[in-house]
A and B are shown apart, each in its own frame.
Chain A
């Protein structure tokens, strides 16, 4: 678009008192903009002033020099066809003035603040010039159909929920009929108040509702061979359960593996398979996927003292349910919840709170089938959270159900039955119980633990990444955003993401169906999904200069980039979350967004005025994650905590988008140090893009070497982790870095 600029300076909220507005005006004028000032730009009168320029003079790019871009967003939104750029003078300068000391008097503090503010005005003007309006990405053809993988309670619920919201749905099930594990249940947990009574299974009604729905196609004995493509345009190859086809999803072959294969040092694991980029002409089109493939019963034979596999009548809860469904259960049964003997008091692994409930349910079967039946539940901790407590309470009132905390030390055959030995019981003594059967509370292993399951035909491989963090569950690490995984367009629910009861599964699956629809609708509008929901920008590539280094394809946390034979990236914008990690990765700097790119940020860095002969006025570039570090800086300012006056802060979408050339830009323009502030990483990562801050940290290790070869101390660049609530610490983190660099002395290249 033909840009017409309008720059505006707010003098309210202390900006006018702290800063010389004439000086700020001058900084904008250097960039050919003649700013107008207003005492409260966000007020109706202030906004009318801007609107008048838009209406009368055709201004379409507005530079607002006022408060932080995090606030007053709607007030300064002049329509989707206008660009607004913000210079943060309030939180960034006026509210975070340095403390006046003997060493640094009032005049100096003012002078430093003025220089900082003028730089922010310059940077905003340059940003305005380098920003273009995003044009949302549109798929050539978009398919809105939802694929539900798995025909158990989770899958049936998701399919019906999506269909009821108007979507077309295909549900596939590996077995020869719908229903999953619930088909084998004799009774189900209570789902409503008073929460005390087992219910007749409702699975038959759920299946009937799905089968009767005209919007749902059911395919049993069917599995996914591969899912290629991207949200809104998935290409899915289905196949009969258990068969092998040339369209099965290929295993991941990384750069090193590819090298080994071509040198004959390694066998190609994908021999006989179609390339992951090949498109199956017979594939079905889908828009999004709900993964509801559930779980498998855990093997419990490792707990030798419990006798599973050696003693008759030591069974798992899954086997006991089958017995109960098919006929009568024995009269004296012990249910063991915790296998650790004296070593620990944990439940069996992969249990969550479900197996406590299962034991209570199955204890009821013992009572139903035997007038004199006795069920013993031996637990370390009964896990019946929330309303399930009432069911537990009900069982406690059942005369034939005995519950005790117990450390089970062994199970032995004795007189035709079984003897269960235990310690530390609530009866304050060691006890041996004689029973007909022992039931072990085996856990529920998610299908994603041992197999890729989702079978994506992606450059980064067929499975979800790094599920080890979640013990193999297809779970999210985000407490606030539990549906977000590293594969856009695929939403997991039910037992594949957590051992959960039916009530929770139904909610979870209903939510997953919504996320699938939301993803397709977002793709239709050409905008991003979480966490940059609604963002219409997307990364564009200037392929003529691509050197096929594969860094972007390897580093994208969401696997958005495939590649061709040569290694040239094949972008899939509807998989993309717009973090810019690809842009940060690219050594050729050929990746950028219309409103966020290497040139834009680099130009902003170069817009900073760096005094070349004043040892007191060193300059430090700070790149701060806009999601956590930048809000922390804002909050520090709201508390009027001083911020170092030598720094200039640029918010970035994610530290992953940090292109290292910006560091060179800063140092070559004479700045003395560069600090990156990003989210915590590691197993408990807080990065909204999963890997951004970690990747930036790795890149920093490499840039240290580069700096060394230029004769610059590696210590001039650093990355620090900071959480959003550490506004009380962020000032010190910055000061510490600045002090360290001051010790090194000014950048030797200053002035060149």
Chain B
């Protein structure tokens, strides 16, 4: 791991350490390929690390991540670089030169994850892992299951006194404030792009006025609220005033299936909402829930799950797109929509509104600079030496992502075979 050796001949570079990148890297390595796995965050696991449960099994994603992290620990062919991004790619199939940059962690490999630095640190930062819904120390472990299990320091957020206290607290000489960004080059035969996605920026959905009320959150924020290691210890509370909500609304297709925003369907949001209804129901047996949708895309094996959720008498499904959200004086919000079947204008006043925001590929905006072809929506197209997988390729659920990631491992092996 984080081995600085030069690339062995025929090695594969996997860009992105979420579930898709992890899968592509491990599947290739377990066939016998040497793999470099890079991740821009200080930890592996990506989006799924932020999820409370997977649908439809309602099992914790950390369970699969644990197995994948064990696979990495047991496989010396996978070399991991966190806080690292691709700066440029040159060469071609079978023979790429990739320039990468690692940002300074300000904590070196001596770190034992004992936590003394965080105890000593007096400065706080917004907790990005929890979408800013709480603060963390500026010397922090990104989350409980973080891999690698090392602390990170947001140096710029630390005052001089805090820095000194952090340095003094570490008994293992692991804190290094002089650490610099580092550029390095790898020669690889194939590249897998597994750069994942970001929730669509809800401020662009002007009619939903996400900034007008703390009672409007995204579905990813809901995941953090429901997670035992989230900002509220797993209790679903309204941000701002910590009210226990008595009523909820879900706004489906918040950005998706909309030519002005994301023209595609983001695949997961219907099931994510069904799943989040089960979170709510387990904490608030009597809460009223309204779901505004266009179509319920819960096909195949997900249909049983939908049936179970829809059997709940306190959940109302309205076919209709939300036109407006109005902040109310009591801290709640009113959602306005037209029921597409009856033609009636309907409104629902709730304590908490959840926007089922779509997926925006992370490569959008960066792909051109790296010379990557995309489909116009920012999803990466593959070629002979490079392939994309997971949500870098298309909006998809976790199962589909791991399938396409395994396929990408195969394509990388084929490409590196052609090169020798």
Q: Which residues of A are in contact with B by a Cβ distance under 8 Å? A: 12-14, 39-40, 42-44, 67, 70-74, 161, 164-166, 192-194, 344-347, 351-353, 356, 379, 381-390, 393, 405, 424-426, 428, 470-471, 473, 475, 477-483, 498-499, 504, 506-508, 510-515, 517-518, 521-522, 529-531, 533-535, 627-628, 631, 635, 638-639, 680, 684, 686, 688, 723-728
Cβ A194 vs Cβ B376 within 8 A: yes
A617–B67 CA distance with the chains assembled, in angstroms: 36
Cβ A515 vs Cβ B263 within 8 A: no
Could you give 25 example pairs across A and B, Cβ below 8 Å? A40-B172, A165-B414, A351-B299, A379-B295, A382-B295, A384-B265, A385-B299, A385-B396, A387-B264, A387-B375, A388-B265, A405-B340, A424-B341, A426-B341, A479-B398, A480-B61, A511-B406, A514-B410, A533-B26, A535-B74, A631-B62, A639-B144, A684-B59, A723-B59, A727-B228
A168 to chain B, nearest CB (A): 14
Cβ A40 vs Cβ B171 within 8 A: yes
A533–B343 CA distance with the chains assembled, in angstroms: 57
Cβ A386 vs Cβ B265 within 8 A: yes
Q: Contact check: which of A70, A347, A385, A426 meets B303 at CB < 8 Å?
A: A347
B340 contacts across to A, CB distance below 8 A: 405, 426
A535 contacts across to B, CB distance below 8 A: 74
Determine whether B161 belongs to the interface, using a CB cutoff of 8 Å to chain A: no
A638–B141 CA distance with the chains assembled, in angstroms: 11
Instruction: Identify the closest chain A residue to B23 (Cβ).
Output: A480
A194–B263 CA distance with the chains assembled, in angstroms: 11
A510–B27 CA distance with the chains assembled, in angstroms: 12
Determine whether B13 belongs to the interface, using a CB cutoff of 8 Å to chain A: no
Cβ A627 vs Cβ B67 within 8 A: yes
Determine whether B243 belongs to the interface, using a CB cutoff of 8 Å to chain A: no
CB within 8 Å of A: which B319-338 residues: 319
B399 contacts across to A, CB distance below 8 A: 479, 482
Cβ B303 vs Cβ A481 within 8 A: no
Q: Is the interface of A mostly helix, strand, loop or mixed?
A: loop
Cβ B265 vs Cβ A385 within 8 A: yes
A512–B256 CA distance with the chains assembled, in angstroms: 31
Cβ B32 vs Cβ A521 within 8 A: yes
A71–B148 CA distance with the chains assembled, in angstroms: 9
Cβ A482 vs Cβ B375 within 8 A: no
B227 contacts across to A, CB distance below 8 A: 725
B234 contacts across to A, CB distance below 8 A: 728
Cβ B413 vs Cβ A165 within 8 A: yes
A506–B404 CA distance with the chains assembled, in angstroms: 9
Q: A74-B1, A390-B264 are in contact. Are A470 and B58 (CB under 8 A)?
A: no
Determine whether B145 belongs to the interface, using a CB cutoff of 8 Å to chain A: yes
Instruction: Identify the closest chain B residue to A520 (Cβ).
Output: B31
Cβ B58 vs Cβ A684 within 8 A: yes
B127 to chain A, nearest CB (A): 16
Cβ B342 vs Cβ A428 within 8 A: yes
Cβ B67 vs Cβ A389 within 8 A: no
Determine whether B25 belongs to the interface, using a CB cutoff of 8 Å to chain A: no
Cβ B264 vs Cβ A686 within 8 A: no
Cβ B1 vs Cβ A726 within 8 A: no
B290 to chain A, nearest CB (A): 17
Instruction: Identify the closest chain B residue to A529 (Cβ).
Output: B30
A471–B400 CA distance with the chains assembled, in angstroms: 19
B353 to chain A, nearest CB (A): 22
B263 contacts across to A, CB distance below 8 A: 389-390, 393
B23 contacts across to A, CB distance below 8 A: 480
Q: Contact check: which of A344, A379, A480 meets B64 at CB < 8 Å?
A: A480
Determine whether B66 belongs to the interface, using a CB cutoff of 8 Å to chain A: yes
Cβ A627 vs Cβ B66 within 8 A: yes
Cβ A165 vs Cβ B63 within 8 A: no
Q: A480-B19, A480-B64 are in contact. Are A42 and B406 (CB under 8 A)?
A: no
A379 contacts across to B, CB distance below 8 A: 295
Determine whether B411 belongs to the interface, using a CB cutoff of 8 Å to chain A: yes
Stretch at the interface among B97-105, B107-115, B202-210: B107-115
Cβ A531 vs Cβ B67 within 8 A: yes
Q: Contact check: which of A346, A405, A479, A639 meets B341 at CB < 8 Å?
A: A405
Q: A193-B375, A511-B403, A724-B62 are in contact. Are A389 and B264 (CB under 8 A)?
A: yes
A220 to chain B, nearest CB (A): 25
A67 to chain B, nearest CB (A): 7
Q: Contact check: which of B26, B266, B299, B410 meets A511 at CB < 8 Å?
A: B410
A498–B403 CA distance with the chains assembled, in angstroms: 12
Cβ B404 vs Cβ A507 within 8 A: yes
Cβ A383 vs Cβ B341 within 8 A: no
Cβ B59 vs Cβ A479 within 8 A: yes
Determine whether B219 belongs to the interface, using a CB cutoff of 8 Å to chain A: no
B314 to chain A, nearest CB (A): 19
Cβ A725 vs Cβ B228 within 8 A: yes
B300 contacts across to A, CB distance below 8 A: 351-353, 498-499
